[in-house]
Structure 1
Amino acid sequence: MLITSLLPLLTNYSLGFDLVAGPDDTVTLTIVPRKAAEAAHTLANGEARPISITASAAEIDAELGRGIDGALGQLIASRKTLADQIAEQRQAAELARTAAAQAAKANTAAVKPAAPTAPVKASVSSPPADATPGEPASLW
């Protein structure tokens, strides 16, 4: 029954199990999802992280018996969804980075340097005819 309920997960994942007995009749089950040999998609880092469940043996059996509708199936599906979202965000960021680089190149090519101009020469005017040496010139 357990393997039959996990069969939908086994189409995309190879599942490794590790069982450790704990105090008060608890059991810690560590599940390591790996890519199944026939799976089309590649596992993201989040999908391949081990999952650890600590509960009574009956509780773990009941939860694993629910298959993809149980906690294990939902957790793996959530990790896959998050991995897909991260991949989409990385792709969008890369596209934005590429578009910004192309826009910067286009702006650089469109802006032509200004033509050099001849240096401006200061014109020196001669003092008025009625100016007296040593006194400031009048503006009127």
Structure 2
Amino acid sequence: MLIATLLPLLTRYSLSFDLIAAPDGTVTLTIIPRKAEGAARSLDKSESRPISITASAAEIDAELGRGADGALGQLVASRKALADQLADQHQATEAARTAASEAAKAKAAAVKPKVPAPSVAVKAPALPSLPTDAKPGEPATLF
């Protein structure tokens, strides 16, 4: 029943199990999701968080016997729904990123370089005329 309960997770993850027996008769079953071989993207922290159950062996067997209606089955269903939402958001983000990139390329291609306007010749200001008593070859005086 354990494998049937975990089958929805096995489609997306590789799972590791850890079983520890305590001296008081309880057993801790820890299920650790890992990135499946060949998976394109890495796992989110919420997806890779271990699932741990501590109870007596009989209680764990009874809980696993409930299948999808048991606590583990409901937790697995919740994890699968979360993983599906994360995958959808990742896909939407990539689609938006691609669309924005394409729009930027189209906008850049549509913008034509501006041709500079012909410059207008600037007239130099007229120099004041030399004093009437100025002699060629001698500097003009201001006094």
TM-score, structure 1 normalization: 0.63
Q: What does the per-residue CA deviation read over 1:60-99, in whole Å, with 9 as the maximum and x for residues that have no partner?
A: 2332222101111111111111111111111111111111
Question: 3-state DSSP class of the match of 2:20?
Answer: strand
Count of aligned pairs: 121
Preserved CA contact (<8 Å) 2:31 2:51: yes
Tell me, in whole angstroms, the C-alpha distance in 1 between the residues paired with 2:123 and 2:59.
Answer: 98
Deviation, 1:125, is: 3.3
Structure 1 range deviating more: 59-68 or 46-55: 46-55
Q: What does the per-residue CA deviation read over 1:16-72, in whole Å, with 9 as the maximum and x for residues that have no partner?
A: 7654311211111234679xxxxxxxxx95778753311122332332222101111
Tell me, in whole angstroms, the C-alpha distance in 1 between the residues paired with 2:92 and 2:77.
Answer: 23
Structure 2 CA distance for partners of 1:17 and 1:105, relative to 1, 3 Å: closer
* Residue aligning to 2:5: 9
* Residue aligning to 2:112: 112
**Aligned partner of 1:30: which letter?**
T
Question: 3-state DSSP class of the match of 2:28?
Answer: strand
Structure 1 range deviating more: 83-92 or 6-15: 6-15
* Residue aligning to 2:98: 98
Structure 2 CA distance for partners of 1:99 and 1:13, relative to 1, 3 Å: closer
**Aligned partner of 2:59: which letter?**
E
Deviation, 1:109, is: 1.6
Tell me, in whole angstroms, the C-alpha distance in 2 between the residues paired with 1:106 and 1:16.
Answer: 48
- 1:16-95 mapped onto 2 (5 Å cutoff): 19-31=19-31, 45=43, 51-95=51-95
Gaps of 5+ in 2: 35-41, 132-140
Root-mean-square deviation (CA, aligned residues, Å) is 3.6
Gaps of 5+ in 1: 35-43, 135-140
TM-score, structure 2 normalization: 0.62
